[in-house]
Amino acid sequence: MLVAGEAGVGKTRLVAELVARARRQGLLPLTGWCVEHGDEITPLAPVADIVRELQARTPKTDLDDALGAAGVDLAGLLPDFDPTGESRPPSAGVGRLFEGVLSVLRRLSARWPVVVAVEDLHWADESTRQLLAFLAPRLMDHPVLLVATYRSDELHRRHPLRPFLVSVERSVRPETIDLAPFSPTELAELVAAVTQTDADPQFVTALHARSGGNGFFAEELLASGARAGFPPLLRDAVMARTTELDQTAMSALRVAAAAGPVINTAVLRSACDLDRPTLDSAVEALVDGGLWVRDGQLVRFRHELTREVVDAQLTAGDRAAVHGSLAAAFIQVEPSRTGDIARHWAISGWQTFRRSWMRRSIASSRASPVTQPTWWRRPSARWPPKRFWSDLKGAR
């Protein structure tokens, strides 16, 4: 069984409930966790977790019977597991290790139905993926349930988990649960459960708009009052997704956050002063990182809360420059968006332009052509330069 969904949607909560129910009903649940950069740090980390839990929860006599000769190979993952001192490192015999894990699970399942849960499969190292692909078809006739969770929003086109998913789909056709964010009705139930009061419909609507129905986001906002500010854990979780972005992608993210939930890529390209290939590369990185969703010429934030957190990181000086760049970009690319142009001029501090474009917006007239100064398109530049009035043409 595969449990997929974006980060924070509730995969771990669902599996934890499955494990708890399995234990209450007399099954043997075992859980392991993949770790980020597992290939470099701790290969087969979830298997070591499972071996450790098996050792803690199983009487020694039953454990010895279940392990048999495989204990020597498994002890390569957990040295103190083998009192004989004959353990082999996993790299010395991966085939022997795989066969050992298989035989242990088969023998355990002869005594109790077994549930094996592997969390965060998107971080799995190659050996863990190979082991699961090896086990899945060979346990189909035994009372063993293999459950694995992964973040579907992190599977970019070249993610190593994709070939694994294709292979498993062909070999065993696993049941897949794709967890969707909460609907407004489901979120209202969550609010009622957390607050122990009837959920106010307007509050739920606002909370759903900010959290996108993401359970983690919603609970963190509820814990902090949900109406203002960002809990540190939530802010850090959002910003952690930006750590792998290069400077260009990060700049595009900041400009888009200032623009609003949705922006035309042509406007973004103009505001960031990027050529098409460079912007396309940045957009691809942001989509692959689970921050944006692309729809033709438009990009939007996957979560409004992500946009709010990124926008809040702008300093006052950068904010003025970014909104000035956006105002100029809209004038160049979408001059009919007079209301947006006026808003960006206002935030940038140029009230004269704001009043001019507000009048145009109210009159619903098209904006006059403006030759965009190149300095408007560089948020990092000194803003505005001395040649401001000579560069401006056509704005009233």
Q: Which pLDDT value is given to residue 247?
A: 94
pLDDT < 70 regions, the chain: 38-41, 71-73, 75-93, 226-229, 350-396
**pTM of this prediction?**
0.73
Q: Which pLDDT value is given to residue 166?
A: 95
Q: Which pLDDT value is given to residue 221?
A: 87
Return the H-helix or E-strand segment holding 19: helix 11-24
Q: Which pLDDT value is given to residue 80?
A: 56
245-249-251 Cα angle (round to 5):
115
Q: Which pLDDT value is given to residue 86?
A: 53
Cα gap 161→289, rounded to integer Å: 15
Question: Do residues 88 and 76 touch, judged by C-beta distance below 8 A?
Answer: yes
CATH of domain 2-178: 3.40.50
Quick one: angle between helices 94-109 and 45-57, nearest 10? Answer: 40
Q: Which pLDDT value is given to residue 202?
A: 92
Q: Which pLDDT value is given to residue 52?
A: 87
Distances (CA, A) of 49 to 34, 56, 194, 389: 9, 11, 32, 67
- DSSP H helices, 242-275, are 247-259, 265-272
